[in-house]
Structure 1
Amino acid sequence: MKFVVTGGAGFIGSYIVKYLVDNGYQVIVVDNLFRGKLRNLSGYEDKIDFHNLDILNFEELRKLVKDSDGIFHQAALTSVPESFTQRDKYQNVNVNGTENIFKLGKEFGIKIVYASSSSIYGNPKSIPIKENASRNPINPYGRTKLEDEILAEQYSKLGVKIIGLRYFNVYGIGQTNDYAGVITKFYEAIKSDNPPIVFGDGTQVRDFISVEDVVKANLLSMQSSTDFAFLNIGTGIVTSINDLANLMIKLSGKSFVPIPANLPEGDVKESQADIHLAKQLVNWMFETNLEDGLKKFFFS
């Protein structure tokens, strides 16, 4: 079988690519290398069909995907702070680019598993969050992901098989610091002998999910008989930012006191996934708990 991975040189995309190759699939990688890095695919260069291509280039994209068995769509701009200052760019890439993928799914009858985001929920009325909760994003990035979901709903009615995975806080080795989640930022600070910077009072809670578990969610979604769904991809377990900082300091064996800083615009107070639907529809369940996942940073 042959799969296309957009954003395949990015953090999550490259993990998907390597997993597919390791399991005997043919893989076409599409990435314009704006944020993605070829080093993320080190050792796999001769095992993949790589194309330096923007997902906005519809005709070239069309040539690549027409004979594929499925598309894992991971290409996106993902920085919440940046989305406030580059709204048009985020709209173009995240919404127009994603619609290109959906159009091709319709034309060629190809199933699509794509990266949605827990940011579509905004500040939830209660946690854990079920998939049928209100979608009220509080930043432009989240709004682009909501627009993608509205498009997915429309295209599914036209017969396109689409599963949107609402990633919660994904972490893992190889995430770049520029647009990384809090775990990578804390790790880079501690590794450089600096105390981690905690935004706000640190009581905000997050649901951290390992990139390896995210990869499996993508594969199981593609292989499943489910034709349309939005699924939460998290653990259902919350950790406060203060507790995260203290756990990482403990694992490092160093002695730091976290530095407080002002909370950035568009930051969500609490986030926790209800993951029952993913288990029910695609038989997915996370395997890595947070402490074991963090140990990979310090002891691998």
Structure 2
Amino acid sequence: MFNSKIETTNQSLKIDFNKNIELSVKREDLIHPFVSGNKFRKLKYNIILAQKQQKNTLLTFGGAFSNHISAVAAAGKEVGLETIGVIRGEELYDKINTNPTLSFAKSCGMIFKFKSREAYRDKTSPNFISKLKEEFGDFYLVPEGGTNDLAVKGCEEILTEEDSKFDYICCAVGTGGTISGLINASKSNQKVLGFSSLKGDFLNKDISKFARSTNWELITDYHFGGYGKINDNLIAFINKFKAETEIPLDPIYTGKMMFGIFDLIKKGYFKPNSKILAIHTGGLQGIDGMNAKLKKQNKPLII
């Protein structure tokens, strides 16, 4: 699976913006039912290296509804590697079976280590990693969110020669790995736009660590209050978009990106006759967890 070349198709959207704007979606979400989108791209070369180093276990980090945790668990099961998830929040210990992400990861064989939010902040420290090795033995460490040099290398494979016709490449941004790969693979005449799912512009520094050119911009106006935060307007947009295009969007990443693209088109950000490619980075497993929260709040659900 990870040793083979994967190419995805672009789906052109027939939406009348009255501005001669052409919008297409690269369906990276269709790569794999459980290891889809940028998670497949980020894990590809990390798993190849782990196998080359004859590691038997992948260890990584994430929160209660992490796409990354879900993807690592599924990928490990598929290639025959044990998986360990260090999970943010000790209170989740007795909620595994009611949490869709954790229950899925458990079904794939992932072992969990729950840490308090305070302790979790030190997850990258040598002492923290050393204690994990004392407890679990040798493992291949994949960082939270999956972003490292090998992840960026994998994300550089998202764009193909066919995509050189687009003026803008758009993607959601969480840790900066995906957009960095897109920047490195883009043409000099293209502009790469990243739609941040988190508050603040600190991601500019993280992206700059990996990006080899400056033809990019981080858009920070569509986080809807921060990571994991949504409102009724976003839910309505996601549901309307799916009804009109048959393309599902997740509420954490791709839904916010697409909302932002539509809003920028309306505001005249893009020049007339522009061709835009939006990267669908997957993350659809997060819909169930968000709907569970919305149901408790008597809010509209994502369909």
Which category of TM-score, normalised to the shorter sequence, fits these structures? 0.3 to 0.5
Q: With a CA cutoff of 8 Å and minimum separation of 6, indicate the structure with the bigger relative contact order.
A: 2
